[in-house]
Amino acid sequence: MDRDFKALESIKHIILVLSGKGGVGKSSVSVQIAYALKEQNKKVGILDLDLCGPSIPRMLGVEGSKILQDTNGWVPVYVTPDKGLGVMSIGFLLPDKNSAVVWRGPKKSAMIKQFLTDVYWGDLDYLIIDTPPGTSDEHLSVIENLQNVKPDGAVIVTTPQVVSLVDVRKEINFCKQVNLPVLGLIENMSGYVCENCKECTNIFSTGGGKSLCDELGYKFLGYVPIDPQLGIMLDNPSGKESDDSGSTNSFISAYKSSPLFETFKQIATTIQN
């Protein structure tokens, strides 16, 4: 392996999370996949490469953390005391949470390479890479810099609407062009489960993601319905402040009570197979 990428040597599996368009819940899916793997006794890292919209630190309650450096490189910010889930994001390097990243492509590419070469994850079972929407400079930079590592592949996130599925086809074509295997597709926001009666209502539609997988021969990883409690957990992950409903939550402690936890446990198991 190129000596510049020595930090990736001890990572067993690398998975990219992609989406054809924004607003489909890609980052929340990345977080839930990572947490489900961690709960299956895997040591997991999340690399947040959405440089212009780094939301994962906020979701996991580590916003405002500072990056430390040792002789091996940057040290990830750990979400859990056992260091079973670590995070690296440009959000840790910005002056404050309202700072905008106004960079041209070459600077973004340089930052991505630095994240891939200078972060010392140690021994990891899985590195989940959360990417920006679409097929842009950032995606090409990631693929180019991972050539010698050979990532496992991509999990693609869509919603049931036709406009999202059209963009997913573009994302799949991108994967083909850069020889990145597609591990499967997740249909997010696929229905809304009522908290009282538990009936699932298909607000947008449903089944488009599975139909696309059946048509193109890819693995369908599962339907993920809307859970209002997930939004509360991710908006207020530390539990230090009350949200609009007056409740407090910690994502790490509260997520297991969400019906989505069981869904993503199954998704994580399927990805490993």
Which residues are known binding-site members?
A: 20-27, 194, 197
Distance CA 111, CA 109 (A): 5
Q: From the annotation, which residues make up the binding site for ATP? A: 20-27
- To which CATH superfamily is domain 3-265 assigned? P-loop containing nucleotide triphosphate hydrolases (3.40.50.300)
Give the annotated binding-site residues for [4Fe-4S] cluster. Answer: 194, 197
- Burial label for 123, CB within 10 Å (0-12, 13-18, 19+), is exposed
Which pLDDT does position 237 carry in this prediction?
62
In angstroms, the CA 165 to CA 156 distance is 11
Q: How many CB atoms lie within 10 A of CB 145?
A: 20
Provide the residue-wise pLDDT of the chain in tens; the chain has 273 residues: 555 677 788 999 999 999 988 889 999 999 999 999 999 999 999 999 999 989 999 999 898 898 889 888 999 999 988 999 999 999 999 988 888 888 898 999 999 999 999 999 999 999 999 999 888 888 999 999 998 888 999 999 998 887 788 889 999 999 999 999 999 999 998 887 777 776 777 776 677 888 899 999 999 999 998 888 787 788 776 555 444 433 333 677 778 888 899 999 999 999 998
